[in-house]
C-alpha cells in the first residue's frame, strides 16, 4: 500500500467518524465509518513499515481536527495560545489511533483483523483516559450512540469499552463485502462473504429491539424518588474573586426560590460562587438560612482553599454546616492552576450521598463508577458552559460534553442530573433517556427515581478496557524487544 493510499483511507474514515458525533450526529454512521480503515488494515502486509502509523495519524488529524475546532473560540481569551492549544490537542490525540493501528497490525498475527482492530481501538481509548494530568477521554466511539438510547443497553454490562468494541466489529463485518475481500482470496465462498455482515445486522437489531422493548415497559421505580430544584444560571465567564458578585447571585437565587416547597435538594452550577468560599463568610450564613427555610440542602460550585492551595470545588450547605469535594480530573493545561483531589469521594449533602462530577469529569467512566460504588446517587454533573459561545463552532463543545452523560447513566443504572451555567440543564433516567430540560435561567423541579440494583458494569468494572490494554501492551512490548528489521521498519 502506498503512503498516499494510507493517508487517503485514514482521512476518509476520520471524516466519517467525525460526522457520527455532535454537532453532526448523522444517525448510525459510526457503524460504517471505520470501513475504509479496516479495509486498509486488511491490505497491509505482515511487515507494513510505517504505513499503519500513517493510517492512524491521518485518521486522528482529520477526526480530532474537525471535532476539536471548538477549542479555538472557547479559549479565545488566551489567543493566540488558543491556536497552539488546538494544535497540541489534535496532534496529541492523533497519536493514539496511530498507536492503536500499529498494535492492530501486530495483533493481526494472532487474531482476525476485526478482533485485532477492536482490541487495539479499545486499548487506545483506555489509554486516553489514564494519562494522569494529560488524560483526555473525550468522545469515545461509544458516545456516537448517545442520541440512540435503545442501543446503549450493552453498556450496563460491558461499559463504553464494550460498546466501542462492538461498533468496530460491525465495521469490520462489512469489509467482507468489498471486492478485494470477496474475490482476492482463493476459495472464499458466498456464505463467508455474507455471514459476517448478516450477523452484524442481527446483533445491532437485537440490541435495538431489546432497548425498544425495555422502553415500552416503562420505568420500574424500585427505590427513592428525589425532587431536585435545578437552578440554571446566566453568569459571566470570568469573575476573578468578586465577593460583591457573589452577594448579587445569592439575592437572585433567593428571589427565584421564593414559594418553592417539597424539595429534597437544590443544585446550582459549577463556579456559581465567583470567589474563594473562605473569603466570604456570608455565603455559608445565607445558604444555611435558605436551607432551613426550604428544608433542603444546597449543592453548588465554588472555589475552595485548603493547605494545598485553591481547588475547583463543589460545596454542600445545610443546616448542619458545609462539606466540600474537589475536582479530581482537570482539563489539561486550562486548569493547571487548581489543585486536584487525590482521592475522589462522593459528596455528603445532609442525609444523602451524591456522585458529583465537575464539567469535564463526565467523560471519565471509571471515576463515575467509583463514586457510584462508594454510595453516590444520583450522578450530578455541575458545569459551566460559559466557555462555549452560544452559536457557531464554539457551541460544539457543549453538545459533545453532554454526549457522555447517557453512557454514565446506563453504565451505572443511575439517573444523571446536569446543572449548567449558560447552557441547558437536563436530567436523564438510568437508561440514558432525557426526561427533562431547562434552557432559560431560573428554577425547574426534576424528579429522579432509583430504578433497580447495581448494573454488572458498576459491580465488575471495565474488564474489557483493561484486557484490551494488556493485550495491546504485550504485543507492543514484544515488538520493542524484536529486531527492527523483523517489524519491517527499515
- pLDDT (0 to 100) of residue 203: 73
- pLDDT (0 to 100) of residue 387: 86
User: By the 8 A CB rule, do 416 and 450 touch?
Assistant: no
Where are the domains positioned within the chain?
3-218+462-487, 225-451
Q: Of 121, 140, 8, nearest to 67 (Cα)?
A: 140
- pLDDT (0 to 100) of residue 182: 43
Cα distance between residue 103 and residue 477, in whole Å: 10
Three-class DSSP category at 421: strand
CATH of 225-451, one of 3.60.110.10, 1.10.1370.30, 3.40.50.300, 3.40.50.720: 3.60.110.10
Side by side, the strands of the sheet bearing 347-349 are 347-349, 352-358, 379-384, 416-421, 425-428, 434-438
User: By the 8 A CB rule, do 396 and 22 touch?
Assistant: yes
**Bond before 80 cis per omega within 30 degrees:** yes
Angle of helix 81-107 versus helix 113-128 axis, rounded to 10: 140
- pLDDT (0 to 100) of residue 271: 86
**3-52: pLDDT as tens digits:** 788 899 999 999 999 999 999 999 889 999 999 999 999 888 877 778 99
Which residues make beta-bridge pairs with 321?
A: 318
Side by side, the strands of the sheet bearing 225-232 are 321-326, 309-318, 298-306, 265-267, 225-232, 442-449
Q: What pTM, to 2 d.p., does this model score?
A: 0.92
CA dihedral 469, 475, 477, 482 (to 10 degrees): -170
User: By the 8 A CB rule, do 438 and 444 touch?
Assistant: yes
Task: Identify the segments of the chain with pLDDT beneath 50.
Answer: 181-187, 486-490
Strands 379-384 and 416-421: parallel
User: Dmax of the chain from CA atoms?
Assistant: 80
Q: Of 487, 489, 490, nearest to 46 (Cα)?
A: 487
Amino acid at each position: 500500500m502506498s503512503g498516499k493510499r494510507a493517508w487517503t483511507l485514514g482521512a476518509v474514515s476520520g471524516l466519517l467518524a467525525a460526522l457520527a458525533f455532535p454537532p453532526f450526529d448523522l444517525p448510525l454512521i459510526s457503524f460504517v465509518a471505520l470501513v475504509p480503515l479496516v479495509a486498509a488494515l486488511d491490505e497491509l502486509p505482515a511487515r507494513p513499515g510505517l504505513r499503519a502509523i500513517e493510517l492512524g495519524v491521518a485518521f486522528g488529524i482529520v477526526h480530532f481536527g474537525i471535532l476539536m475546532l471548538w477549542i479555538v473560540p472557547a479559549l479565545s481569551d488566551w489567543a493566540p495560545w488558543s491556536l497552539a492549544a488546538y494544535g497540541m490537542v489534535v496532534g496529541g490525540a492523533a497519536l493514539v489511533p496511530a498507536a492503536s493501528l500499529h498494535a492492530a497490525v501486530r495483533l493481526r498475527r494472532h487474531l482476525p483483523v476485526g478482533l485485532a482492530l477492536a482490541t487495539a481501538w479499545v486499548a487506545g481509548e483506555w489509554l486516553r483516559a489514564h494519562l494522569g494530568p494529560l488524560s483526555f477521554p473525550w468522545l469515545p466511539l461509544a458516545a456516537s450512540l448517545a442520541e440512540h438510547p435503545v442501543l446503549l443497553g450493552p453498556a450496563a454490562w460491558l461499559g463504553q469499552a464494550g460498546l466501542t468494541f462492538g461498533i468496530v466489529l460491525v465495521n469490520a463485518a462489512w469489509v467482507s463485502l468489498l471486492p478485494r475481500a470477496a474475490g482476492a482470496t482463493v476459495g472464499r465462498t458466498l456464505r463467508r462473504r455474507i455471514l459476517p455482515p448478516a450477523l452484524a445486522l442481527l446483533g445491532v437489531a437485537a440490541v435495538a429491539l431489546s432497548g425498544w422493548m425495555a422502553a415500552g415497559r416503562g420505568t420500574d421505580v424500585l427505590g427513592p424518588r428525589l425532587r431536585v430544584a435545578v437552578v440554571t444560571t446566566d453568569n459571566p465567564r470570568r469573575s476573578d474573586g468578586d465577593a460583591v458578585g457573589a452577594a448579587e447571585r445569592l439575592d437572585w437565587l433567593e428571589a427565584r426560590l421564593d414559594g418553592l416547597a417539597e424539595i429534597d435538594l437544590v443544585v446550582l452550577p459549577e463556579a456559581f460562587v465567583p470567589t474563594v468560599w473562605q473569603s466570604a463568610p456570608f455565603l455559608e450564613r445565607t445558604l444555611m438560612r435558605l436551607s432551613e427555610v426550604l428544608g433542603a440542602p444546597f449543592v453548588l460550585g465554588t472555589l475552595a482553599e485548603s493547605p494545598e492551595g485553591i481547588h475547583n470545588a463543589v460545596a454542600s450547605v445545610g443546616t448542619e454546616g458545609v462539606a466540600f469535594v474537589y475536582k479530581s480530573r482537570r482539563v489539561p493545561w486550562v486548569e493547571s492552576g487548581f489543585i486536584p483531589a487525590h482521592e475522589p469521594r462522593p459528596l455528603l449533602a445532609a442525609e444523602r450521598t451524591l456522585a458529583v462530577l465537575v464539567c469535564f469529569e463526565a467523560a471519565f467512566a471509571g471515576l463515575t463508577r467509583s463514586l457510584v460504588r462508594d454510595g453516590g446517587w444520583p450522578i450530578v454533573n455541575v458545569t459551566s458552559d460559559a466557555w462555549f459561545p452560544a452559536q457557531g463552532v464554539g457551541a460544539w463543545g457543549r453538545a459533545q460534553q453532554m454526549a457522555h452523560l447517557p453512557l454514565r447513566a446506563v453504565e451505572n443504572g443511575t439517573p444523571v442530573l446536569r446543572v449548567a451555567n449558560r447552557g441547558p440543564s437536563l436530567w436523564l433516567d438510568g437508561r440514558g433517556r432525557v426526561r427533562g430540560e431547562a434552557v432559560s435561567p431560573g428554577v425547574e423541579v426534576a424528579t429522579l427515581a432509583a430504578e433497580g440494583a447495581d448494573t454488572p458494569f458498576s459491580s465488575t468494572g471495565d474488564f474489557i478496557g483493561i484486557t484490551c490494554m494488556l493485550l495491546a501492551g504485550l504485543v507492543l512490548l514484544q515488538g520493542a524487544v524484536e529486531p527492527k528489521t523483523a517489524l519491517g521498519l527499515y
